[in-house]
Each structure stands twice: as structure tokens, then as C-alpha cells.
Amino acid sequence: MELLVTSLEDPAGTNMAESLYGGSIEAGSVMGCDGFDLLAIHGPSINADAIEDSLAKRYDGILFLSRHAAESGRLALTCHSTGNFGRAQAGGRDGEVAVPHSQMIKRHICALVDHSSEFDGFDLTLEATHHGPTALRTPSAFIEVGTTAVQWNDRDLCSRVASVLLCALRGGGADSPSAVCFGGNHYPAKFTDEAVHGEHATGTIVPKHALEFVDEKMMAHICAQNPGAKVALVDANGMAGHKSRILGLLEGTDLEVVLL
């Protein structure tokens, strides 16, 4: 069973949660829903590293319902795993990545694309791994509505995204083979395309601007946090000069390297 979490200070997350719950929510105990549980918290979700300590049972995954912001203001519906490759600037710990919920990331982005006619004008995209929390032992991901307060407070939009997530939650089926990803931009087009049209579920995604932080220790940590991954997908043209070094580090792992 999945646990869905939202901060009551996050309007997009709260709107999605209330749509799924069918009424107002309050912080406190876990609320049982049809096929999943829901929890509202106070404080930013990016700082929820200790949330597991308050849970009475173990979950298959934790999905954070959240707003998405971007300086560009470009409209986007996103999902991503969390982690910090260098210094933590928005929750979590330095040099730590969370265990990604790669299967739900794939299912949600595929469901968004399947319902793309409902989201005209929005980019439907993965994001590279970023921000906290990073210390969760349970696989996790962020499900986000962007990109300004107008969209965060649009109950109809948030309800439609919540309905798509519900499709993903109830979709079931066999798990896809998972992969770790290296290179590309913060909005990684090649890895989004792989998640939607390819066979792999994308786990940790290290964008090109964070490749400088990937050394032997960090590579081992990424592999440990993606225990089901057998493949490393590499954006061959999006490595910012780190291609040969990253490929050399990958030779020291058990991952099969696939260049995109």
C-alpha cells in the first residue's frame, strides 16, 4: 500500500489530497482511503526526513503531493525522486539520495501522457533528482502541480492531476526494469521519453550540472539506493565534459551501460 503525504502549507498538495479524500483534511492521524493511505503534515515536505518514525506500519512507497515552481513560469506537471548530490540547499542531507519510487514515477508520467488532452499547455515531464527528504528508507517520489500560485490554487486542475495519480495507483501490472540515469538537463527529455515509451522505470537521475559531485563514493551510494537497477542510462550528448569520467566509474559497477 502507498502512503500519500501533503503539507497543509502547500496549496497544490492540499487540493490534490482533498480531492482524493473527498473532503477537508487535517494534520494528524493517517486517513484510510480506497487502496491507499493519506497523511497531512505541517511544515515543508522537503524536510520530512523523519516522517517514517511516526508511522505505525510499513508502506510500499511514499508519494508527496506538492506544488512545483520554476523561475521561467512555464506550466508543468512533474514527478521526480529526491536527493542531494552536493550540499543540501532545500531539505535533506548533503551528498545523500533517497530510494526512488521508480515504478510509481513511471506509472504517473505515463498516466499523465495518456490524459494529455486534459492538460493543454502544460509540459508533462520528469525532473532530475533534487531536494529533500533524503533519509527515507521507503521508496518515495514527488507528484507535482506547477507552476505558479494560480495553478496551485486551481482546485479543478489539482483534482484532475489527482485523478490521474489514482489511475496510476490502481493500474497495477508487472514492475518495469529500473535504471539509474546520468546527464541531461533538469527537465531530462531523453529520460522522460524512456519512462513514457521505453521499457525502463527511471530511478535516480543525475543531471549534467550535478555530475561534478559523482565520485566513486557517490556512485556506490547511488547504486545502493537503487537496489533493483541493472542498467545505467547515459545521455551521451548531455554530460558537460564528464562523459569519460562517469563511464569509467560505471565500469566499476554491475550496471549495464546504455547510451541514449
pLDDT digits (tens, 9 = 90+) for 143-160: 999 999 999 999 999 999
Residue 63's nearest CA partner among 128, 174, 135, 138 is 138
pLDDT band at 221 (very low <50, low <70, confident <90, very high): very high
Over range 62-79, report the average pLDDT: 96
CB 189 within 8 A of CB 237: no
pLDDT band at 88 (very low <50, low <70, confident <90, very high): very high
Peptide bond before residue 133 is cis, with ω within 30 degrees of 0: yes
Instruction: Look up residue 166 and give its amino acid.
Output: L
First-residue to last-residue Cα distance in the chain: 34
Model pLDDT for residues 173-184, shown as the tens digit of each residue: 899 999 999 999
CB 235 within 8 A of CB 187: no
Over range 80-96, report the average pLDDT: 97
| pTM of the entire predicted model | 0.97
Alpha-carbon span 192 to 233, nearest angstrom: 12
Alpha-carbon span 41 to 139, nearest angstrom: 19
Alpha-carbon span 211 to 92, nearest angstrom: 19
Fold of 2-259: Aminopeptidase (3.40.630)
pLDDT at 222 over 80: yes
Model pLDDT for residues 14-61, shown as the tens digit of each residue: 999 999 999 999 998 899 999 999 999 999 999 999 999 989 789 999
Q: What is the pLDDT of residue 108?
A: 98
Which CA distances in Å does 43 have to 5, 27, 47, 197, 256? 12, 10, 7, 36, 40
Model pLDDT for residues 94-121, shown as the tens digit of each residue: 999 999 999 999 999 999 999 999 999 9
Alpha-carbon span 242 to 251, nearest angstrom: 14
